[in-house]
Amino acid sequence: MRHITPDRYDELRREWIAEHAGIWNMQKRRAELLNRQIRKRVRMSAAARPNPYDDNVIHPHWARNGSTVDIIVERIVVGLCALLAPVGWLAGRLLYEYLVQFIPGRLRAYPIPALFAAAAGIGTLTALLYSPDDSLIGTIAPPYVLAQIPATFAAASIYGILNGWLAIDGSASWWPLTPAPLPVDLTIPMGPDDLTAPPVFDTDDPHPPVDMTPLTQITQSLQSLHLVRATAAVCAIGTAWMIGAVGVGIKDAVEHTVSSPAWSSPSQLH
């Protein structure tokens, strides 16, 4: 049998992404990819199989051409992310894929606030370690390299939002662990007793061909998002403060270079 990705609340996440896609074609593509995954799971487990040729998906961003507003806005956003945090973006994607593997076994949802808080905490430490230098390289390079570490956790949390995990109960909590199964109560003195003889042949319980969505949630989450908004706001404020500090450092470095006695303007060289 071909490998099928386990169902991690795909239907609820697809619904949330489609409702909040707006003009973003990258979000519409995410919803369509989840829909293709759902339909593949149905084809592998049900007798009534949908047509696989109906699974049309928008081309990825690099393969789309045009000059419409939505494409231009997406290009600007993608370009800024690639410029500011190329390593953090890639590492955040890998961290997201790693954490998703624990759902719903060890985690019942994706820990978005915890990742934002980790980004804010590590970003604070990197900001305290930042000391502007008189040279442009010493002013820009150290904070740019150090910023990739908190950007990793921020990117992982943003991927959680973009992939619809806010629709799942627990994603707005700090660390949504899967609750332990209830223990079997064998202390009832007058309870029923299983007197079935052991089978002659080795038997095993039948396993479903694919993992179905957990039955603990059938609608989108109504959990408050105050914790997500608060941690995201702290990350945004810290990012703006760090960019401003680097900008001031660049300004001071340029002024120091211009006012240096060893520096001469081009007009003085003639």
pLDDT digits (tens, 9 = 90+) for 158-188: 999 999 999 888 888 888 887 776 665 555 5
Tell me how far apart the terminal alpha carbons of the chain are, to the nearest angstrom.
78
As a whole number of angstroms, the distance between CA 40 and CA 76 comes to 34
Locus of tokens 């010493």: 138
CA distance 8 to 6: 6
Please report the pLDDT score of residue 2 as a whole number. 56
Among candidate residues 81, 59, 83, the one with its CA nearest the CA of residue 71: 59
Cβ(110)–Cβ(174) below 8 Å: no
Give the pLDDT score at 86: 92
- In the three-class reduction of DSSP (H, G, I as helix; E, B as strand; rest coil), residue 149 is classed as helix
Task: Give the CA-trace dihedral at 211, 212, 213, 218, to 10 degrees.
Answer: -170
Q: Which amino acid is at 227?
A: L
- The whole-number pLDDT of residue 44 equals 74
Mean residue pLDDT across the chain = 79
pTM value is 0.76
Q: CA-based angle 229:235:237, to the nearest 5?
A: 100
Indicate the burial class of 158 (C-beta count within 10 angstroms; 0-12, 13-18, 19 or more). buried
CB 146 within 8 A of CB 84: no
Give the pLDDT band (50/70/90) at residue 23.
Answer: confident
Cα angle 112, 117, 121; round to 5: 155
For residue 8, count other CB atoms closer than 10 A to its CB.
21
